């Protein structure tokens, strides 16, 4: 069965023109002398056109691939590329502030992203390629996910390779010109206006005596304002019945340790440009040049309200109500249950503590500015028996992460100042964690409670912290490849072989300055920098209607920080000088300990035979690679006078692998296809995991990341078996199983510092005998008896798991279109459905995580045993069950789509806290579903208008400590995004 495809589909398919040319050449030789086949032509458009063409490409591929094509120019199913990929069987995504950012293929983030077959590089130290939020879906005409690679496929993926495809001009059948204008609104942002989105595409080709020429230019400009509310409550301490505390009860319980009210706001400005030129001097050759330029500015204007020092009142604060927390089992051990504080008031008790609990206001502007470029130049020649493809490509990503983060301490005028001279004092808090809401606020009516006007008085805040950063990361990859095919008129239809060289590098500079002020003598009052202060967002209840939250507070204006950081720095320094502080602020400077320069050179060879015999077709071959790694870092020592001595240290290493790959396809009948794939691949470590440099934080909470230059690439051996039944036009039912054996899996090795179970104090001297590493610049805070810096903190290092791991699963999918029942159903024939379900599991591995000292104290109470609680880390971001259901309707110039996506709970290190492993184990993100919908109306052959909605039900994110539904620790209350717009084709 054949399909008459739209011009945009034909243009997309030509992005892999060498493969199709090879297939066409082989088929032409086979078809000689045979009668002409009857070709069925299906005239489709819109959603149906995209689904039909995608299914057509998948069906006739020799590899297991999943394909999505644009419905029209610049119109993929979703605005965000990660959310587009979520439509595919076996793919789940993770989000930041509700926006799709991470993609897991078959439960793993270890994937590759390409544009037109060229490797992309990311903005950070990762290996998965370009950030999906940096590329507008408007410039992408289609995408392909290869789950079962062949020998040609570039190494580096565990789950799959994602190839984003742009329009190829020589495949256009007529001039192409279109524009799209949209506006997007976020339900939680304080800015209620619609943010603009513009995109346009022009393409044409022409012919003269010198051959055929073609050009396509696409551009996109988008602004986006997204907001998420993220409340957090820590309950990882213990008040035992025999503690002797005034708060002790007849049962052990978990008191309140810490509260955070986090308001995340990100403003994106994304500019994308794609330009393609093609020249075919004759029917047998083609020359091309591609340029893809992306410019991303992600400005953060977030705020945090912290109830700190709450744990200092644990010995006297008695909750009004408790809830029973069942920890479930971990590492084969039943961890029992315990009561936990649910509702109550944490009072001010000056006899117990004269400066706790206290209130802090932070302004976070951790922004990212990324400039990425991809250039591709090459050509191909097709002869009777030979074809040659060559390409030179360059990918780069230069990123600066400007940040200017400040914290203010609230000085409660109703309570006395800290007798020790500290710049904080006491504030009473109320909390109510019932109903799954981590809510806290000022305990109105309690002794010493401040009023709204006092909270908004600049004279009642003092400057506590100033952290400025301008870190830079420069990533690049330059590559050359040549692919040769030789066609044979036999069982082996062709033989492919080729060579690829690439040089990859990542250079990071840690640039910053930090000043921590801990005494009233050093901290200027807000009245000295009142021009910088603004009231923080007061709509923290918009997401869930909560009544209890901190509504009134002051911040250093994040918009002013973003627009004039030097002016803000000057004003704060002036305030310090006027106040008579002994401290001063300075411009950010490069840190010797935060530098690394890692370079890799890889030579890869492959050979592959393609075959076709009766109902069987496919390929088999080998890929060989050899990589040299050079890692440059700094070694920091001190001379006898205490001066820093910096020495450049170079580490070198190399490795090689042979990667066999096999794909067999059986066209059992005209409508049934069975596939088998087997192959081996590797995954290289992230650059920062190889670095020998160490970066310290001024906070005592984050673990210090310690690189491991001895990390080996992860190896994965994969098997796939699937069956597809194309039972009707543009319809399919499929089932597949996959099995992956993974060796040298990258896992986190966490070493937590010891904390005294009674005082909560840590070791304040180097070395840290109880675990962790000494951080000389971290604020001691509550981890010692006195103010100052220098405390033991945790460490986090990537290591290779010594045990072998197994990942396996089953994928189901169905696609059905009712358009063939026009006579029987009438208007209802416009409906169609797509659905998929993935079941997967992970087992094996040796690397274990252990409970922190504080958590171990709790587990000793719940289990009655001092035995260490530990568990194999497992695979992060793996949901064992996930499904996706889409209902669409297209008829009478009306097009609508509704998609519901659900994924089961999964473990994650993306925890809304300063520690990625609370309690010593990855947090668990709970089950979550999301509903998206869109409606489009075609006014005439040139114009259509539409509206799209993301997260219609405003589904929230819940994260739990230890196990799912055990102890709710963190929430993400995300927004609903509405986009309206119009497309016009000239």
pLDDT in tens, 482-520: 999 999 989 999 999 999 999 999 999 999 998 999 999
Higher pLDDT among residues 782 and 133, named by residue? 133
Nearest CA-CA partner of 201 in 180, 181, 222: 180
Provide mean pLDDT across the span 827-835.
95
For the ranges 255-264, 748-757, 972-981, which has the lowest average pLDDT? Answer: 748-757
Nearest CA-CA partner of 627 in 660, 657, 659: 657
Q: 36 falls in which pLDDT band (50, 70, 90)?
A: very low
Phi, psi values for residue 184, rounded to 5°: -120, 140
Question: SS3 of 783, please?
Answer: helix
Model pLDDT, residue 782: 78
pLDDT digits (tens, 9 = 90+) for 852-864: 988 999 999 999 9
Model pLDDT, residue 884: 95
Model pLDDT, residue 881: 97
Q: 299 falls in which pLDDT band (50, 70, 90)?
A: very high
Q: 680 falls in which pLDDT band (50, 70, 90)?
A: very high
Residue 17 has pLDDT above 50, yes or no: no
Model pLDDT, residue 192: 66
Residue 5 has pLDDT above 50, yes or no: no
Model pLDDT, residue 177: 96
- Whole-number Å distance between alpha carbons of 231 and 970: 6
For the ranges 434-438, 446-450, 467-471, 911-915, which has the lowest average pLDDT? Answer: 911-915
Residue 969 neighbours by CB under 8 Å, 6+ apart: 232, 233, 234, 235, 911, 913, 918, 923, 959, 960, 961
Q: 637 falls in which pLDDT band (50, 70, 90)?
A: low
Residue 885 neighbours by CB under 8 Å, 6+ apart: 833, 834, 835, 899, 900
pLDDT digits (tens, 9 = 90+) for 245-259: 999 999 999 999 999
Model pLDDT, residue 663: 98
Provide mean pLDDT across the span 260-265.
94
Residue 37 has pLDDT above 60, yes or no: no
Dihedral sign (CA 3, 6, 11, 15): negative
Question: SS3 of 86, please?
Answer: coil
- Whole-number Å distance between alpha carbons of 870 and 493: 55
Provide mean pLDDT across the span 279-304.
96
Nearest CA-CA partner of 283 in 649, 585, 17, 566: 17
- Whole-number Å distance between alpha carbons of 722 and 133: 32
The C-alpha angle with vertex 889 and arms to 885 and 891, in degrees rounded to 5, equals: 165
Provide mean pLDDT across the span 647-653.
83
Residue 296 neighbours by CB under 8 Å, 6+ apart: 123, 131, 133, 134, 268, 269, 270, 271, 368, 369, 370, 371, 372
Strand partners, 680: 717
Phi, psi values for residue 186, rounded to 5°: -105, 135
Three-state SS for 352-398 is CCCCCCEEEEEEECCCEEEEEEEEEEEEEEECCCEEEEEEEEEEEEE
Pairing mode of beta strands 789-793, 731-743: unpaired
pLDDT > 70: what percent of the chain? 94
pLDDT digits (tens, 9 = 90+) for 408-448: 999 999 999 999 899 999 999 999 999 989 999 999 999 99
- Rounded to the nearest integer, the mean pLDDT of the chain is 90
Q: 141 falls in which pLDDT band (50, 70, 90)?
A: very high
- Whole-number Å distance between alpha carbons of 206 and 202: 14
Model pLDDT, residue 640: 66
Residue 18 has pLDDT above 60, yes or no: no
Model pLDDT, residue 331: 87
Q: 267 falls in which pLDDT band (50, 70, 90)?
A: very high
Q: Max alpha carbon distance in the chain (Å)?
A: 100
Residue 202 CB coordination number (10 Å): 17
Three-state SS for 9-65 is HHHHHHHHHHHHHHHHHHHHHHHCCCCCCCCCCCCCCHHHHHHHHHHHHHHCCCCCE
Model pLDDT, residue 748: 87
- Whole-number Å distance between alpha carbons of 427 and 407: 17
pLDDT digits (tens, 9 = 90+) for 942-957: 999 999 999 999 999 9
pLDDT digits (tens, 9 = 90+) for 344-386: 999 999 999 999 999 999 999 999 999 999 999 999 999 999 9
Please give the radius of gyration of the chain, using alpha carbons only, rounded to the nearest integer.
30
Q: 979 falls in which pLDDT band (50, 70, 90)?
A: very high
Model pLDDT, residue 639: 63
Q: Is 254 within 8 Å of 90 (Cβ atoms)?
A: no
Length of the chain, in residues: 986
Nearest CA-CA partner of 61 in 90, 20, 99: 20
Residue 26 has pLDDT above 50, yes or no: no
Model pLDDT, residue 15: 40
pLDDT digits (tens, 9 = 90+) for 70-95: 988 778 888 889 999 999 999 999 98
Q: 286 falls in which pLDDT band (50, 70, 90)?
A: very high
Model pLDDT, residue 709: 83
Residues 475, 268, 591, 130: what is their CA dihedral angle, to the nearest 10 degrees? Answer: -20
Residue 568 has pLDDT above 90, yes or no: yes
pLDDT > 90: what percent of the chain? 76
């Amino acid at each position: 069965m054949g399909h008459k495809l739209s011009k945009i589909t034909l243009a997309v398919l030509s992005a892999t023109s060498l493969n199709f040319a090879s297939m066409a050449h082989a088929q032409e030789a086979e078809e000689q002398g045979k009668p002409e086949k009857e070709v069925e032509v299906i005239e489709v458009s819109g959603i149906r056109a995209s689904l039909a063409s995608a299914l057509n490409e998948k069906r006739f591929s020799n590899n297991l691939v999943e394909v999505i094509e644009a419905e029209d120019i610049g119109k993929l199913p979703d605005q965000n590329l990660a959310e587009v990929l979520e439509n595919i069987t076996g793919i789940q995504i993770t989000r930041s502030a509700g926006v799709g950012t991470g993609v897991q293929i078959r439960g793993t983030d270890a994937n590759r992203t390409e544009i037109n077959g060229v490797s992309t590089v990311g903005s950070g130290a990762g290996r998965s390629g370009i950030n999906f939020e940096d590329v507008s879906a408007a410039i992408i005409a289609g995408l392909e996910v290869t789950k079962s690679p062949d020998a040609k496929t570039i190494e580096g993926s565990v789950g799959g390779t994602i190839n984003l495809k742009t329009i190829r001009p020589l495949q256009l059948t007529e001039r192409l010109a279109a524009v799209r204008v949209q506006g997007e609104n976020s339900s939680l942002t304080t800015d209620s206006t619609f943010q603009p989105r513009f995109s346009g595409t022009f393409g044409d080709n022409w012919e003269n005596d010198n051959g055929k020429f073609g050009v396509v230019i696409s551009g996109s400009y988008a602004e986006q304002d997204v907001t998420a509310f993220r409340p957090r409550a820590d309950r990882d301490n213990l008040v035992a019945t025999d503690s002797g505390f005034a708060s002790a009860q007849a049962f052990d319980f978990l008191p309140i340790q810490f509260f955070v009210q986090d308001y995340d706001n990100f403003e994106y400005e994304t500019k994308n440009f794609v330009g393609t030129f093609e020249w075919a001097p004759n029917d047998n050759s083609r020359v091309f040049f591609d340029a893809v330029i992306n410019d991303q500015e992600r400005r953060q204007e977030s705020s945090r309200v912290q109830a700190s020092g709450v744990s200092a009142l644990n010995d006297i604060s008695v909750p009004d109500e408790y809830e029973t927390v069942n920890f479930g089992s971990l590492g084969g051990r039943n961890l029992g249950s315990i009561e936990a504080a649910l509702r109550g008031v944490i009072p001010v008790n000056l006899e117990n503590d004269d400066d706790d609990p206290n209130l802090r206001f932070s302004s976070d502007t951790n922004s990212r500015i990324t400039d990425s470029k991809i250039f591709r130049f090459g050509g191909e020649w097709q002869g009777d028996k030979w074809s040659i493809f060559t390409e030179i490509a360059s990918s780069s990503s230069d990123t600066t992460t400007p940040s200017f983060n400040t914290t203010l301490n609230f000085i409660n005028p109703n309570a006395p100042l800290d007798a020790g001279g500290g710049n904080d004092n006491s504030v009473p808090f109320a909390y109510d964690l019932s109903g799954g809401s981590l809510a806290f606020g000022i305990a109105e009516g309690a002794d010493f409670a401040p009023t709204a006007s006092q909270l908004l008085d600049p004279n009642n805040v003092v400057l506590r912290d100033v952290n400025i950063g301008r870190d830079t990361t420069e990533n690049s990859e330059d590559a050359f490849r040549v692919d040769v095919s030789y066609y044979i008129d036999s069982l082996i239809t062709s033989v492919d072989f080729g060579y690829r060289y690439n040089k990859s590098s990542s250079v990071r500079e840690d640039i910053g300055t930090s000043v921590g002020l801990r005494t009233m003598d050093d901290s200027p009052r807000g009245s000295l920098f009142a021009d910088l202060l603004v009231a923080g967002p007061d709509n923290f209840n918009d997401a869930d209607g909560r009544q209890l939250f901190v509504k009134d507070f002051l911040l250093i204006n994040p918009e002013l920080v973003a627009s004039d950081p030097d002016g803000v720095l000057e004003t704060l320094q002036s305030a310090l000088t006027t106040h008579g502080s002994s401290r001063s602020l300075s411009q950010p400077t490069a840190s010797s300990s935060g530098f690394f320069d890692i370079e890799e050179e890889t030579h890869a060879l492959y050979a592959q035979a393609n075959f076709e015999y009766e109902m069987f077709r496919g390929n088999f071959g080998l890929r060989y690679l050899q990589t040299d790694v050079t890692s440059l870092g700094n070694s920091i020592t001190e001379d006898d006078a205490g001066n820093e001595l910096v020495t450049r240290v170079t580490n070198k290493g190399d490795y090689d692998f042979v990667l066999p790959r096999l794909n067999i396809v059986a066209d059992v009948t005209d409508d049934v296809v069975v596939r088998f794939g087997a192959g081996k691949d590797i995954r290289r470590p992230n650059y920062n995991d190889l670095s020998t440099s160490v970066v310290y934080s001024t906070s005592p909470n984050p673990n210090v990341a310690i690189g491991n230059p001895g990390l080996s690439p992860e190896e994965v051996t994969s098997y796939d078996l699937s069956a597809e039944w194309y039972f009707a036009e543009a319809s399919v039912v499929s089932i597949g199983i996959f099995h992956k054996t993974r060796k040298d899996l990258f896992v986190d090795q966490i070493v937590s510092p010891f904390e005294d179970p009674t005082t909560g104090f840590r070791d304040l001297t180097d070395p840290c005998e109880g675990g962790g590493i000494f951080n000389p610049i971290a604020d001691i805070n509550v981890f010692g008896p006195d103010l100052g810096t220098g405390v033991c903190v945790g460490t986090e290092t990537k290591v290779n798991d010594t045990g072998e791991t197994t990942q396996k699963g089953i994928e189901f999918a169905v696609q059905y279109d009712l358009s063939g029942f026009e006579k029987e159903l009438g208007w209802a024939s416009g409906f169609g459905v797509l659905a998929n379900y993935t079941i997967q599991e992970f087992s094996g591995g040796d690397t274990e995580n252990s409970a922190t000292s504080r958590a171990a104290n709790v587990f000793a109470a719940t289990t009655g045993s001092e035995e260490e609680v530990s568990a194999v880390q497992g695979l992060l971001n793996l949901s064992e069950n996930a499904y996706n259901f889409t209902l669409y309707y297209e008829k009478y110039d009306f097009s609508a789509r509704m998609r519901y996506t659900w994924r089961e709970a999964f473990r994650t290190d993306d925890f809304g806290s300063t520690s990625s492993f609370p309690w010593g184990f990855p947090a668990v993100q709970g089950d979550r579903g999301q509903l998206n919908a869109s409606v489009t109306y075609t006014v005439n052959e040139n114009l259509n208008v539409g509206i799209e909605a993301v997260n219609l039900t405003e589904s929230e994110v819940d994260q739990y400590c230890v196990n799912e539904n055990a102890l709710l620790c963190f929430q993400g209350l995300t927004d609903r995004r509405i986009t309206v717009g119009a497309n016009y084709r000239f």
